[in-house]
Amino acid sequence: MTGAQDHAQEWEQAGVRLLVEDALATVTLCHPQRRNAQTPAMWRALAAVGRSLPGTVRVAVLRAEGVSFSAGLDRAMFTPEGIPGEPNLIALAHADDADLDATIAGYQEAFTWWRRPDLVTVAAVQGHAVGAGFQLALACDLRVVADDVQFAMKETSLGLVPDLAGTKPLTDLVGYARALEICATGRWVGADEAVRTGLANLAVPAADLDAAARDLAAALLAAPRDAVIETKALLRGAAGRDHDAQRAAERAAQARRMRDLAGLGD
C-alpha cells in the first residue's frame, strides 16, 4: 500500500479518499461542499485508486460524504474559464478526432475498473446522483440507495450524451425503452422506482445507508472468493450466450470449482 499512501493527499485534494481494511476497500467522494461535483482530477484519482488496490481486496464500497452522492460534472467545465489546468468543453471540441477520443477514454478509466472480474463493488448512494454521478453509481456491480436518492441522466438535456461507460449498465438493468426514456427526458428516478426497475438492490433510510452497505459487503465476503469470482463471470457473460452455451459455461466453471476443492487445481 506504499504507493497508495504516497498519493493519498493528492487524491483527497481531488475529492477521493481510500481506506483498505483487509479484503474491503472503501472509496469515498470527499468534496461535500461542492456536492462531490466531478472533475478530470477526480477521475484521474479514481482511476489511480483502482490501479492501487492490493490483491487482497475482494469487495469495494463506493460512498460519498454530504447530502449528495455527486451532482455530476463540475459546471465550470462548461464555462470559457474552465477549471485551471484542464481543457474545457470548447477546447475539447477543437481537438482532433484521435486526441478527443483518447481524452474521453482516459476519463472513462475512472468508471471501468469497478466491474473487474476479481472484485464485487457496491455503490452506496444518497441524495442527488446526476449525470456523471449516476454513471459512477452504475459503474458498480450493486447499488444500495438511501430513500432520498434522486438519479438523473442530464447529458442529453445539455446537448450531449452519457459517455462515461453508463449506457450499457443502464440498458442492461432497466431495458432499452426505459433507459432511452430516462436519458432523453433527463427526469428524476427516486428510490422506489430504482428498486422496482432493478437500478438498486435495496433502499434504506438515509441514516442507515453506510451500515447497509457494510452489511452487504460482509455478506459478500462470507462466501469463498473463487466461487464468487466464477459466479460473477457466469452471470456477467450470460447475456451474450444462448441457453446451451450458458449451460456449458456452468459445467466448465463447476468442474474448476470441484477440482479446486478436491485439491486437484493448477
Which tens digit of pLDDT belongs to each residue from 179-223?
Answer: 999 999 999 999 999 999 999 999 999 999 999 999 999 999 999
Domain extent, residue 242, equals: 225-261
On whether the CB atoms of residues 67 and 126 are closer than 8 A, the answer is: yes
Q: What is the pLDDT of residue 1?
A: 47
On whether both 171 and 232 belong to a single domain, the answer is: no
Residue 54, helix vs strand vs coil: coil
On whether both 14 and 48 belong to a single domain, the answer is: yes
On whether both 210 and 241 belong to a single domain, the answer is: no
Helix axes 132-139, 167-174, angle to 10 degrees: 70
Any domain includes 147: yes
On whether both 29 and 127 belong to a single domain, the answer is: yes
Mean pLDDT of the chain: 96
Tally of domains in the chain: 2
Any domain includes 266: no
CATH code of the domain in which 37 resides: 3.90.226.10
Any domain includes 199: yes
Any domain includes 83: yes
Q: What is the pLDDT of residue 6?
A: 72
Range 97-109 average pLDDT? 97
Helical ranges in the chain per DSSP H: 2-13, 40-52, 89-93, 97-112, 132-139, 167-174, 176-185, 191-197, 209-222, 225-238, 243-261
Q: Which of 6-10, 68-72, 142-146, 154-158 has the lowest mean pLDDT?
A: 6-10
On whether both 166 and 256 belong to a single domain, the answer is: no
Report residue 225's pLDDT band, with 50, 70 and 90 as the boundaries.
Answer: very high
Any domain includes 238: yes
By percentage, how much of the chain surpasses pLDDT 90?
97
Residue 3 has pLDDT above 60, yes or no: no
Report residue 265's pLDDT band, with 50, 70 and 90 as the boundaries.
Answer: confident
Report residue 5's pLDDT band, with 50, 70 and 90 as the boundaries.
Answer: low
On whether both 232 and 215 belong to a single domain, the answer is: no
Report residue 4's pLDDT band, with 50, 70 and 90 as the boundaries.
Answer: low
On whether both 135 and 104 belong to a single domain, the answer is: yes
On whether both 243 and 186 belong to a single domain, the answer is: no
Range 21-32 average pLDDT? 98
Range 240-253 average pLDDT? 98
On whether both 208 and 127 belong to a single domain, the answer is: yes
Any domain includes 94: yes
CA 73, 76, 80, 83 dihedral sign is negative
On whether both 23 and 34 belong to a single domain, the answer is: yes
**Per-residue DSSP letters for 192-207?**
HHHHHHTS-SEEE-GG
Q: What is the pLDDT of residue 53?
A: 98
On whether both 129 and 184 belong to a single domain, the answer is: yes
Per DSSP, 81 falls in state S
Any domain includes 16: yes
Range 46-75 average pLDDT? 97
On whether both 176 and 77 belong to a single domain, the answer is: yes
CB atoms inside a 10 Å sphere around CB 91 = 13
Residue 51 has pLDDT above 60, yes or no: yes
Q: Which of 1-10, 64-73, 103-112, 173-182 has the lowest mean pLDDT?
A: 1-10
